[in-house]
C-alpha cells in the first residue's frame, strides 16, 4: 500500500501503527463475517504469518515496518502522486489510472472541475 500523508499532531510511525492495527482487525472481521469464498485460505495465510513473529497475535495481515519518504517540494510531491496513480496500471490491475475505484486520480485530471481547488504545498 502506498500513501501520502502528513500530520502536525501525530508521529508518522504512530499513524501507520494505528492504521495497520485497525485495518487488520477489520480485515479479519470482514473475512469471517462476509460470504468470502477464500475465507479458509485467507485465514490460514494470516494465521501462518502470525506464527513467524512472536507477538502473540492470531493473524498477521501487514508486514512489519514502513518506508517513509520525505516529500518537501511540489515537484517531489507531484512525482510521487503520479507514481501512485500509474502503479496500478503498471501492475495491470486497471487499464487506466482513473479506473481504480479508490484512486485520487480524478482530482488531478485536467478536465476535472475540481482541479482548481487542489493545492499542493511543500510539507516542511
CA–CA dist 14, 101 (Å, integer):
27
- Enter the C-alpha cell of residue 112: 476535472
- pLDDT tens across the length of the chain (124 residues): 788 888 889 999 999 999 999 999 999 999 999 998 999 999 999 999 999 887 778 999 998 888 888 898 989 988 988 888 888 888 888 888 888 887 888 777 765 544 344 444 444 3
Full-model pTM: 0.70
What pLDDT, on a 0 to 100 scale, did the predictor assign at position 112? 54
Q: Is 57 left (phi over 0), alpha (psi -120 to 50) or beta?
A: beta
The pLDDT, as a whole number, for residue 110 is: 65
Amino acid at each position: 500500500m502506498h500513501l501520502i500523508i502528513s500530520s502536525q499532531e501525530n508521529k508518522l510511525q504512530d499513524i501507520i501503527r494505528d492504521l495497520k492495527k485497525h485495518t487488520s482487525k477489520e480485515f479479519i472481521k470482514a473475512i469471517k463475517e462476509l460470504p468470502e469464498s477464500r475465507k479458509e485460505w485467507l485465514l490460514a495465510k494470516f494465521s501462518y504469518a502470525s506464527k513467524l513473529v512472536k507477538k502473540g497475535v492470531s493473524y498477521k495481515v501487514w508486514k512489519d515496518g514502513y518506508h517513509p519518504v520525505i516529500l518537501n517540494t511540489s515537484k517531489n510531491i507531484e512525482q510521487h502522486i503520479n507514481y501512485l496513480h500509474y502503479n496500478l496500471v503498471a501492475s495491470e490491475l486497471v487499464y487506466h489510472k482513473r479506473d481504480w475505484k479508490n484512486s485520487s486520480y480524478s482530482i488531478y485530471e485536467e478536465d476535472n472541475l475540481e482541479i482548481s481547488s487542489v493545492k499542493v504545498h511543500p510539507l516542511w
